[in-house]
Amino acid sequence: MNNAISLVEVEIPKDKKGQSRIVDVGDTITIRTIIKDDVSGVKSVSISFKNPSGSRTQHVVLHPRKSTNVWEANYLVQPTDENGVYKDFFINMADNAGNQTYGWELLSDFKDKMIFTVNNSSGGDIKAPKVEDIEVTPKLVGVGDILNIKVNVEDDLSGVRNVSISFKNPSGSRTQHVMLKCDYSSNMWIGKYKVSPWDEDGVYREFFINVTDNAGNQAYGWNLSDSFKDKMIFTIENKVGGDINPPKILNAEVTPKLVNVGESISFKVEASDDISGVKTIAISFKNPSGSRVQYIPLHFDETTKKWIGNYTACFTDEGGIYDDFFINMTDKAQNQTYGWNLSNAFKGKMIFTISNNGGDTLPPEIKNIKITTNGNK
């Protein structure tokens, strides 16, 4: 993939003496880019920047001006934004053919023109919320029972925005996620989980916690709950044992083997699951140069008992042989199996060729970037 960046300019107006680039809380930063794509056109552009301490990244989605190559967005400097110099920038661009270019390093040559300073006398909010206590009850549950989760989380400035807990089953084959809601009467974050017939029998002792405040500061990890583990461990009693095995692929094929632009390609997969049944199957494939991946969700056909999906070759598709496939399968118990090598046994039935002398394999090209502010400096 080529990094087709030919020119980047970033400008933040200096003060009246022309000596500094500074924005205050309440100022609006306008990010404006001129981006070119060779064939299919630009689909999306976003820019991110780290705060001075590196504890948080702010994401800004740009939008196109009608009938131009200009993409722009406004960012309002918040009271929670950290005081100091902002100098780390990330850009992500994609075109309508799915080609993408992104990275922190793409703008490194132009950092001196992009650096700006936020003047925030309060210092901003840079600390993530802190978990003060966790409790999971009851300690023994059966199929159909409700597991209650209570978490006490404190934040020093902006307030807690999100809390979630995940836990692994005893064999470690599956992770269950629970989003919590704030009970304002008790100031506790509360979640419930109903034990299903597919949950594995045994002791659940591994927990992942994710907490975020309204400034975007985040704390997460499997070890974040270590201090409260004795209050969290619980046991599921399931006489049938539950469902811990992912689906198995039985067969896969792609037809026809040669298609032209505008013609349809058919994907068919046969799969089985031992208990809960197959829930979803999707196939992805790389183009010949490996620069792009196409995703195809499949649906179950009751008549043939196969999972089927179609893709129409378009003018942006690279001409050549397509022989690299990724399969992702999930059952109704959320057991999952996936990988690029999952279809190796059936690769001979899946390889196909798109006949196209053209195609679009290059990502968008940055022609210009400009940042301005409405500050009075």
Domain count within the chain = 3
**Do both 336 and 254 map to the same domain?**
yes
Query: What is the model's pLDDT at position 20?
Result: 58
Per the structure, the complete domain to which residue 186 belongs is given by: 130-237
Task: For 220-242, give the DSSP string.
Answer: EETTTTGGGHHHH-EEEE-TT--
Q: Please indicate, yes or no, if residue 13 is contained in any of the structural domains.
A: no
> Tokens 């509360």 appear where?
190
pLDDT in tens, 327-349: 999 999 999 999 998 989 999 99
Looking at the DSSP assignment, which residues form a beta bridge with residue 320?
354
Q: Please indicate, yes or no, if residue 194 is contained in any of the structural domains.
A: yes
**Do both 112 and 138 map to the same domain?**
no
* Mean pLDDT score, 65-88: 89
In angstroms, the Cα distances linking 23 to 26, 82, 112, 120, 373 are 8, 12, 16, 9, 7
Q: Please indicate, yes or no, if residue 14 is contained in any of the structural domains.
A: no
pLDDT band at 358; cut points 50, 70, 90: confident
* CATH code of the domain covering residue 282: 2.60.40.10
pLDDT band at 8; cut points 50, 70, 90: very low
- Out of 207, 237, 267, a domain closes at 237
**Do both 141 and 69 map to the same domain?**
no
Token reading at 80? 């929670």
pLDDT of 7 strictly over 70: no
**Do both 119 and 147 map to the same domain?**
no
**Do both 255 and 205 map to the same domain?**
no
pTM, whole model, 2 decimals?
0.81
pLDDT of 14 strictly over 60: no
Q: Please indicate, yes or no, if residue 229 is contained in any of the structural domains.
A: yes
Cα–Cα dist 133/148, whole Å? 14
**Do both 137 and 227 map to the same domain?**
yes
In angstroms, the Cα distances linking 234 to 90, 136, 137, 174, 238 are 42, 7, 8, 16, 13
pLDDT band at 296; cut points 50, 70, 90: very high
**Do both 179 and 218 map to the same domain?**
yes
Token reading at 286? 């790389």
* Mean pLDDT score, 205-217: 96
Q: Please indicate, yes or no, if residue 106 is contained in any of the structural domains.
A: yes
* Mean pLDDT score, 137-141: 98
**Do both 330 and 366 map to the same domain?**
no
pLDDT band at 373; cut points 50, 70, 90: low
Q: Please indicate, yes or no, if residue 294 is contained in any of the structural domains.
A: yes
Cβ-contact 156, 214 below 8 angstroms: no
Q: Please indicate, yes or no, if residue 10 is contained in any of the structural domains.
A: no
**Do both 276 and 253 map to the same domain?**
yes
Share above pLDDT 90 across residues of the chain, in percent, rounded to a whole number: 73
**Do both 208 and 166 map to the same domain?**
yes
